Chains A and B, each alone.
Chain A
Amino acid sequence: DQQVKQNSPSLSVQEGRISILNCDYTNSMFDYFLWYKKYPAEGPTFLISISSIKDKNEDGRFTVFLNKSAKHLSLHIVPSQPGDSAVYFCAATLKSGSEKLVFGKGTKLTVNP
């Protein structure tokens, strides 16, 4: 049961360049999509979200794009900074009103100085 998939377990980019993290989903009943960031020995921290009725949401260096026809979303970080190095989880909520977040397995981003 992999309703939310992050097919790249890791990504390495140079400081100052763009980081693009990808996420695919299979359930058309997802309502909200979120990105969480997790540092070692810490819990996930909410980063940015997007409603299923939008196709883009921007917050500073972070932009999330949603392509509903392709059931795909991506997180862009520009410019990438070494402090962005973390595991990034894609997550989604269901229109049915379920409380639960459905997470992907995560992508470990390394930003090299």
Chain B
Amino acid sequence: EPEVTQTPSHQVTQMGQEVILRCVPISNHLYFYWYRQILGQKVEFLVSFYNNEISEKSEIFDDQFSVERPDGSNFTLKIRSTKLEDSAMYFCASSVESGRITGELFFGEGSRLTVL
């Protein structure tokens, strides 16, 4: 069964360093998302991406964050200068239809980011 894959599974970084989290969405999917879950908190929406551009972003997704689809398969989340509060599990997701229609997203296993 096709699945969303994410790398790395766990990354430890120093505050102020740049981090890139990578995702390979399911191949025929058109909509891509990043969500995050701080330990003990809700899963929170960060950004959605369609047709090679951001379609929606949350207030969390400030100038320190960026997303890119550099080729036909990868979807990356970059955090330019990490802060302690960026420590979280970051989930990539993809879907065939827009999430606004049914909300049925396929999530990856997550990348745990620890900022020291």
- Which A residues lie at the B interface, using CB under 8 A? 4, 32, 34, 36, 41-46, 49, 89, 91-94, 97-106
Contact = CB atoms under 8 A, between A and B. Distances in A.
Interface in B14-41: 31, 33, 35, 41
A105 B103 contact: no
B91 A101 contact: no
Contact of A34 (B91, B103, B110): B103
Interface of B: 4, 31, 33, 35, 41-45, 48, 55-56, 58, 91, 93, 98-100, 102-110
A10 to B, nearest CB: 13
Contacts of A101: 35, 43, 45, 99, 103, 105
B104 A44 contact: no
Given A99-B98, A100-B45, A105-B41, A41 B104 contact: no
Given A102-B45, A103-B44, A43 B56 contact: no
Among B41, B45, B48, B103, max chain A CB count under 10 A is at B103
Contact of B55 (A32, A99, A102): A99
B48 A49 contact: no
B111 to A, nearest CB: 10
B82 to A, nearest CB: 22
Nearest to B40: A105
